[in-house]
Structure 1
């Protein structure tokens, strides 16, 4: 896994990032077995799975993120997925909660096959967020001026799928695709909540000194809309099984 920007804001990341949808955790619980949560961050998915009684080990490249996860009572080892020494341990399920895009598929696919028991599964899941048109327009005006290169992720389609079924590196590497599942929810977020979450994303963190004025103006734009925006979350779960 590459150099990630989240370590310095581990506490903020843990405070503001949402936990996985309950329905998704229900589906992963039914898969059962021993789980390796890859790129576990501060343990959002790790904790949710452990609370269901599954045996879960977190793997996280940043010690600061791992320390926060351990504070929630889960076991975490520090290392990059591509090079981590697993010894003779093998798993029934590998989970990548918003972390697959940080690995090199050319290395990660055979590595996943190596770490799984026969018939083991890989679960990759991502969140996307869509705002109402009025909020999109207001934030577009801010970002065009202050951070035009930043991906305007609130425009993603509700059915966004990060892996094309006909071009999945796991399938090309010999894994069998399983059914893709989608979970949807919506929530009202205050201006404070919206900017707090946005400021923990990698694209925003890479803005450096430009982040604070951007968040200040984004906050003001939301306040002008009444102080809150409705956020529609779509979580996509892509499953594959080792043949």
Structure 2
């Protein structure tokens, strides 16, 4: 779930990229993250490549390489940038070239790319510096594509999760959020990404794309994914166990599985065609 997490001292909700402790917490169990997190619609991958001048891709915040491997599978050469060395090591072991750095601090050393992608990671990047740097490393008419999933389970699963989370982690900054957040909130975040791209004056008019799809989860599959989400990666084992027990019981009451409605959102733009 793309959220806007916080840490202490608490950054502004408009500056989630400053929450570095959470941003770099996902590597605690890189294998689980890679196995449980969903990939991205093939139609999205094809559309990005169709609007790019070539196959050289820079993946910002590549994590374990979930998106990168999809681009490699269709013939792209991909370089990953990842601030968490644990995630980077996992991705390297599966054939991805990765350099460990935040995107803001990474040194391109003259390298340029046909596409810069950020899969479920751009909210960890300074939106102004990131857009400017993307323009700097893109070739003329290269494409910047920022994308991620909106996935909220049905109310019968979301409500027990929220209640258990409040009980298990009453001091967490994630408390106070509604059990299910409307799609409009996420669409507004991608509109802000597009606005920051536009403000650089180095891209053609940004576009926003949307892809709707569904995926079925068993109880075990969903309980495997939940610990990889931002609100749970820093909990104590006993806190996590209480939350997973409550969610597991809720899924059992639904017959042991449920269907998730996913929306994958993208903000994308083409660099102006000058050298």
**Residue 232 of structure 1, CA deviation:** 0.8
The structure 2 residue matched to 1:190, chosen from 218, 229, 238, is 218
State the alpha-carbon separation in 2 of the partners of residues 131 and 216 from structure 1.
16
Please report how far the alpha carbon of residue 143 of structure 1 lies from its aligned counterpart in structure 2 after TM superposition. 3.2
Larger deviation: 52-61 or 223-232?
223-232
RMSD: 2.2
Does residue 150 of structure 1 match 2:174? yes
Are 2:85 and 1:63 aligned? yes
Q: Alignment partner for residue 200 of structure 1, among 219, 224, 228?
A: 228
Alignment correspondent of 2:47? 27
Query: 2: CA distance between counterparts of 1:93 and 1:196?
Result: 32
Deviation at 1:150, TM superposition (A): 2.9
User: Could you state the TM-score of these two structures normalised by the residue count of structure 1?
Assistant: 0.90
Shift of 1:147: 4.0
Residues 63-86 of structure 1, C-alpha deviations (whole Å, 9 max, x = no match): 211121122222222221111121
Counterparts of 1:1-16 in structure 2, within 5 Å, are 2-3=20-21, 4-16=24-36
**Which of 161, 180, 189 is matched with 2:208 structurally?**
180
Q: TM-score, normalised by structure 2?
A: 0.80
Aligned length: 243
Whole-Å separation in 1 of the counterparts to 2:243 and 2:193: 38
Cα distance in 1 between the residues matched to 2:143 and 2:178? 29
- Segment of structure 1 superposing worse, 48-57 or 142-151: 142-151
Q: CA deviation at 1:241?
A: 2.1
1:132-167 CA-partner distances (Å, limit 9, x unpaired): 333333434333433465366862334642322697
- The answer to whether the Cα contact below 8 Å between 1:130 and 1:153 also exists between their aligned partners in 2 is no
1:215 to 226, 231, 244: 244
| Larger proportion of strand | 1
Query: Relative to 1, partners in 2 of residues 1:202 and 1:130: Cα closer, same or farther, differing over 3 Å?
Result: closer
CA contact (8 A) 1:189 1:228 kept: yes
Unaligned 5+ runs, structure 2: 1-16
CA deviation profile, 1:155-196 (whole Å, cap 9, x unmatched): 233464232269721112223333321111112211211121
Tell me, in whole angstroms, the C-alpha distance in 2 between the residues paired with 1:111 and 1:55.
20
After TM superposition, the runs of 4+ consecutive aligned structure 1 residues lying more than 6 A away are: none
Segments of 5+ residues of structure 1 without an aligned counterpart are none
Whole-Å separation in 2 of the counterparts to 1:242 and 1:37: 16
Matched with 1:230 is 259
